[in-house]
Amino acid sequence: MAIYTPPLRDMQFVMHELLNVCADLQAIPAHADIDPDTINAVLEEGGKFATDVLLPLNISGDTESCKLDQATHAVTTPKGFKEAYTQFVEGGWAALACNPAFGGQGLPLVVNQCFYEMMNSANQAWTMYPGLTHGAYAALRAHGTEEQQQTYLHKMTSGEWTGCMCLTEPHCGTDLGLMRSKAEPLADGSYQITGTKIFISAGEHDMAPNIIHLVLARLPDAPPGIKGVSLFIVPKFLVNADGSLGARNSIFASRLEHKMGIKASATAQMEMEGAIGTLVGQPHKGMQGMFVMMNAARLGVGNQSLGLTEVAFQNALVYAKERHQMRSLSGAKAKGQPADPIIVHPDVRKMLLTAKAYAEGGRALMCYSSMLLEKDHHHPDEQVRKEAGEMLALLTPIVKAFLTDNGWTATSACLQVFGGHGFIKETGMEQLVRDARINMIYEGTNTIQSLDLLGRKVLGNNGATLRKFGKMVAALVAEEGVNEKMAEFITPVAMLGEQMTKFTTEIGFKGFQNPDEVGAAAVDYLRVAGHLVFGYFWARMAQVALRQIAAGSTDPFYTAKLQTARFYFAKLFPETATLMRTARTGCKVLMDTEAALA
């Protein structure tokens, strides 16, 4: 069975030493009294839930999977899942970052994200059930009527009811403008909704008595395309006026997908045959509410891969220290043994450090993005809200795509550390690789994230937000540019920051002449941008570590942070040079290929 130790020390480093989150949070009235001790205590207990309750169910849940009863349309989750969810609810974890007006604890989003990272490490498939509820909660919090919020949010906050989003249809994925689900208005102001949705995570299960589906569908007078999509609440059970459950609604699971990974997460095909729903927001404006849920989910998916990267690293590190094979090329290290532990070999260390660097860089970015989301939603200063929202919009596709690409690389590398033992089920490593693969696909494939970043978030405002991030880089360079101990961390970031302007302008100019040039360059561009962001945070983490050491700290944590930073800049960051070169080759070699792809 896989092992997992919550990375509490690194979370504390990122929140309290790198980002100083409490100072920012205390400027928000709801968090005026927050302090590091409270955050640390909550996450310590959250880590216990992840390791003691969820981790033991991960491999067994993957083996057992979910089961659908075709006669009743009921889905049974693997053994122990329902009981774990009951503990989750009874412990108050569902309400952690929800609004106290609906029974929430009102803790900062960054605390919730760190908690979810630990749960994702322990059991990503299980964590998807409550995770999707948070997205549905956020959409209704932003766009639901007072009556809708009072009807649903109290029980979604407590975890008594769960939520999910129903977007994809058999003939269309991300292109939601092609959807065919119909909503017919009824005399009482509700709607009858008919259609088929596929790939609906947590669309049906036995962990909660009611599931609140947020469904996209078209009204009879809907204009074509994405501008004709409306959003509806379609509960599994209708809700009576007193809040009790009423009749079973006509929304049913007709099949469960047999998947490569996340097998314990019920991925359902949902059929609606005149299901009763209520409109959320304005007619034909459904994407406003759904994007609240989708953007939350995109941050959540990045967090899923962060969790998998961390747990894969931890298991590979333990194995590399215990597994003896061959001798070190520079001479025997375990002279009393017939072979050395494989951690002495340079390439094994490269694989381990790749996962470690991607996990720690991803954690810094995830916490920073969570703070931007907090400011965007709750900061009293309108200008702070505006700037936080702009920066979050820029970083969201990077969080989703860069962290999930890195998660695939890291879990694969950690499986490789195990050799043949990684390829078999007992160690748990092959499951981590399989689970990680979906994260690059759902909530908008990573290609779509790349197009969003380059086409909308960068070229769409002529690079204005990217330049704001560039100013953050420039400020760090100005602060540490003459510090010789920081040179190995600052110089690469400064050089890439300068190159980024020219690189972006060049791609933008070519795209103006031929839009396919943007499509050809976008994936490479996002990884370059991802490394610029990671490079900035790794340089700042090195800065903190150097200052602590200079102040007399002998904590090996800071030495480890510097060593990992050096590895990142030496072995991973240089990928940017190749990526910029391939992005510049343009679209001709891709599009002028009729014979090759005949």
Positions marked catalytic: 443
The set of residues, in sequence order, having a beta carbon less than 8 Å from that of 90 and lying 6+ positions away, is: none
DSSP state letters, 164-224:
EEE--BTTBSS-GGG---EEEE-TTS-EEEEEEEEEEETSS-SSSS-EEEEEEEB-TTPPS
251-256/267-280 β-pairing: antiparallel
What is the enclosing helix (H) or strand (E) of 68?
Answer: strand 67-69
* Residue 155, both tokens: 């029980």
Dihedral angle sign, alpha carbons of residues 561, 563, 569, 575: negative
Distances (CA, A) of 163 to 140, 155, 202, 489: 11, 10, 8, 44
Are the C-beta atoms of 141 and 156 separated by less than 8 Å?
Answer: no
Classified as helix, coil or strand, 342 is helix
Rounded CA-CA distance 524/581 in Å is 9
Could you give the CA distance from residue 518 to residue 339 in angstroms, rounded to a whole number? Answer: 52
Measured torsion, CA atoms of residues 324, 326, 329, 333, in degrees rounded to the nearest 10: 40
The Cα-based distances of 41 to 18, 48, 86, 311 in angstroms read 19, 11, 22, 21
